[in-house]
Structure 1
Amino acid sequence: MRKIHLFSASAAMWLSVGCVAAAPVKTGIEVLRERGFDVLRGKRVGLVTNPTGVDRRLVSTIDVLDSAARRGMFELAALYGPEHGVRGDAEAGQAVASGRDARTGVRVFSLYGRTTRPTREMLAGVDVLVFDIQDIGTRSYTYISTMGRVMEGAAEAGVPVVVLDRPNPMGGLRVEGRERIEEGLVSFVSAYPIPYIHGMTVGELARMLNEEGMLRGGVRCGLTVVPMEGWRREMGWEECGLPWVATSPHIPTPEGALYYPTTGTIGELGTLHIGVGYTLPFRTVAAGWIGDAEGLAQRLNGLPELAGGRFRPIHYRPFYGADKGTMMHGVEIFLPRGTKEADSLVFTLIPFYIMQELAALCPEHKPLEEATDSKRAMFDKVLGTSQMRRMFLEAGCRVTPQLRAFWRPSQAFLEKRRKYLIY
């Protein structure tokens, strides 16, 4: 087993606690720069990043490393692009092209196309591989799948990995969802056995994937995590003092990271509109056939299981997408933060409660059953299980205690997770 190195955080961490005004969080790239890029000195460096890899002045990590390379500290040998590409010029789901970065002239290899894992050929001439991407804290978001695949490819090629840590915009306390991925449902949106909301930073997650044998074939890479300074698990993004760069086109604000795991799952069905294509991506659940949006909101606001969340009736026409121009009726979701009710509210079960109340209001429509086979398959892949769908339908479209218990992360996982928390 290779040793994992952790740089110690500075006094800024404890100065941000108590009555002292919170100091801005320093991300891994800023800590690495302050340390004079010591773990990269004299090496040929590969960088996995995208537009979210920036410092607090919005300078790209590509350009930060390129500037240091031009001063002779190391060589920036290659860039690797996940979904959306290193400069963000590829649409969601679009294959990323290899080539040269126009600004630096550094060669670019695609990790979202023919392969999602760097091959030995792609890593030839690279001594160390750096990962710097802002995640949103949800298993089905592909950036952590990319990180795991990068670690697998690096392990096979004998190239060490440096992960530059960043905040989890959902904070580090909320953990939701069954961690076990059913056989046949492992995919790029459920690549590793972790809960749907994992409550970890990318650095913490990298440590766990590496040490718990979660990477494909049980491989382990040489791993260095450069931690942040000043981040605490209870922090919301607004407390970090950092700019937000859209992690993808439909996550333009940090709030989107909270709402993505709330509605993104049922959005895969294609039978309910979740605000993507309108001005509220992931914040609505609506359909043209919902005739009583007011009644739906009242029913949801009356559920004790959803206490803390609020729902208001909404009517809108999407500007683009399959439902462009069609009047939608439904609810807009308002999630709580920083309250006891927020802690007890299971964000990822909200879509099931909405479908439960829709079944009572509109029994002639069944979003789960009306979806195509391929859409239902994707819904299952995102959840990592087909049992949630089946249990819900078999209970007459009801969220039962059994379903809630099934979806809960295991105590064994929570104990395992605790070993790898840095903050």
Structure 2
Amino acid sequence: MRILLFIAFGLLLSACASQSDKAVLASADIKVAAERPDAYLAQLKGQRVGLLVNQTSMVGQTHLADYLLENNINVTRIFAPEHGFRGDHDAGAHVNSEIDAKTGIPITSIYGKFKKPPLEMLQQLDVIVFDIQDVGVRFYTYISSMHYMMEAAAEAGIRFMVLDRPNPNGRFIDGPILEPEFRSFVGMHPIPVLHGMTVAELARMIKGEKWINQAQTLDLVTIPLANYKRDMFYSLPVAPSPNLPNDQAIGLYPSLCFFEATPISVGRGTDFPFQAFGFNDIAMGSFEFSPESRPGSALHPKLEGKKLNGVDLRQSRQRGLDLDWLISAQVQFAKDGMELFERADFMDKLAGTDQMRKAIQAGQSAEQIKQSWQAGLMKFKAQRQPYLLYE
């Protein structure tokens, strides 16, 4: 009997390994749109091209800007989102316009003086190409920059092309639908926190649902991925921003970002941002860490130089949207007579509603809170269906 059990266990491990190997192979076969030049280069020939790109905009080992220039595409302007063209600016930091030293192409920040470039600037272009790796979370601002540039392109009467990339959180659809009164740059569309769409699919939905001015006039072109299904695991080859350095941080980001509206640190200023959380005045766990100032990723982070006690999530298998950590923090803070949501307005913008914060403060469980979202999520799933490109 013992031998039979060992054989059965061995077969189970072999089957699991086989499935894992297949998943890895499938992920390795994914070809991002930028690596499919036959699908888009001809459309850019003879055009004055503007690029909305950052450090993730790679064609193999070559940046898209350099790749297009090597292929005789007339790139005349680069637009830089949050974190800058090279991705070396801290979250929320003002991004200045400049000249790219390598190519001599002028760079215009759309995360500084304005979120949408002036009409006269766009009238010098024929097409804008968007190629940025997103993480599939509503409050990650690259999709907000895409929204404004789509609107600017529509108003200027020029084409907008999206080169698609995988959504590393594409398996999940979760969180409250954004309510109109809580619309901001960290939440512009009536979609859930985790929407399960790629940027090309979302662009199609933004146009189709008329979420931008003059949506019906926008000449939108989307170049899809090859060999992609949204439930595939995808490890990002380039960090999408300084404080999301690896797959673990990207997976935990949808849950931990809500702590940004509280006094609690999420590890900014350490080697493990968005992979831990802690506080100095309340022992939230046995893990000790101390944030330090790190130019380019965490200049003067929250609780800088203080000894914090919290939870290390670097080995956690949590994915999707997990409210338990936030609920636990609320219980601990309330017990000590402290206010967790010290920036309630920011919390509500991140959540896209004030109902989530109020439910946590009222002591509701994660299951109760998530149940309140289900009708909205069902409606969203049906609404997004016409715009999907992948299984």
Q: Which residue matches 2:59?
A: 55
CA distance in 2, matches of 1:420, 1:36: 20
Cα deviations by residue, 1:291-322 (Å, 9 ceiling, x for unpaired): 362xxxxxxxxxxxxxxxxxxx4122222323
Which contiguous aligned blocks of 4+ residues in structure 1 show a shift greater than 4 angstroms? Answer: 17-21, 216-220
240, 253, 275: which is aligned to 2:246? Answer: 253
CA distance in 2, matches of 1:96, 1:235: 34
27, 31, 38: which is aligned to 1:26? Answer: 31
8 Å CA contact retained: 1:26, 1:228:
yes
Q: Which residue matches 1:399?
A: 365
Q: Report the CA distance shift for 1:91/1:282 in structure 2 as closer, same or farther (over 3 A).
A: closer
Q: Which residue matches 1:191?
A: 188
Q: Which residue matches 2:175?
A: 177
8 Å CA contact retained: 1:152, 1:219:
no
Aligned residues: 361
CA distance in 2, matches of 1:392, 1:223: 41
CA distance in 2, matches of 1:28, 1:182: 33
Does the alignment pair 1:212 with 2:192? Answer: no
What is the Cα-based RMSD across aligned positions, in Å?
2.4
**Superposition deviation, residue 42 in structure 1:** 1.6
8 Å CA contact retained: 1:213, 1:220:
no
**Any residues of structure 2 matched to 1:129-278 within 5 Å, and which?**
129-170=128-169, 172-183=170-181, 185-216=182-213, 220-238=217-235, 244-269=237-262, 271-278=263-270
Cα deviations by residue, 1:271-303 (Å, 9 ceiling, x for unpaired): 11211122221122211223362xxxxxxxxxx
Look up the equivalent residue of 1:77 and give its one-letter code. T
In structure 1, the residue corresponding to 2:229 is in which secondary structure? coil
Q: Report the CA distance shift for 1:90/1:319 in structure 2 as closer, same or farther (over 3 A).
A: closer
Q: Which moved more, 1:118-127 or 1:397-406?
A: 397-406
Q: Report the CA distance shift for 1:392/1:42 in structure 2 as closer, same or farther (over 3 A).
A: same
8 Å CA contact retained: 2:174, 2:377:
no
CA distance in 2, matches of 1:407, 1:40: 43
**Any residues of structure 2 matched to 1:30-109 within 5 Å, and which?**
30-31=35-36, 33-35=37-39, 37-57=41-61, 59-69=62-72, 74-109=73-108
Cα deviations by residue, 1:22-78 (Å, 9 ceiling, x for unpaired): 3521111111x2447021122111111011111222x11111112112xxxx41121
Look up the equivalent residue of 2:378 and give its one-letter code. Q
CA distance in 2, matches of 1:133, 1:368: 34
Q: How high is the sequence identity, in percent, across the aligned residues?
A: 35
Q: Report the CA distance shift for 1:20/1:175 in structure 2 as closer, same or farther (over 3 A).
A: closer
8 Å CA contact retained: 1:156, 1:219:
no
**TM-score, length basis structure 1:** 0.79
Q: Report the CA distance shift for 1:376/1:220 in structure 2 as closer, same or farther (over 3 A).
A: farther
Q: Which moved more, 1:274-283 or 1:319-328?
A: 319-328
Look up the equivalent residue of 1:291 and give its one-letter code. A
- Gaps of at least 5 residues in structure 2 are 1-20, 294-300
- Gaps of at least 5 residues in structure 1 are 1-16, 294-312
CA distance in 2, matches of 1:63, 1:405: 48
**Superposition deviation, residue 101 in structure 1:** 1.7
**Superposition deviation, residue 353 in structure 1:** 2.8
CA distance in 2, matches of 1:364, 1:211: 49
Cα deviations by residue, 1:80-134 (Å, 9 ceiling, x for unpaired): 1111222234333222222322111122222111211132112122111100000
**TM-score, length basis structure 2:** 0.85
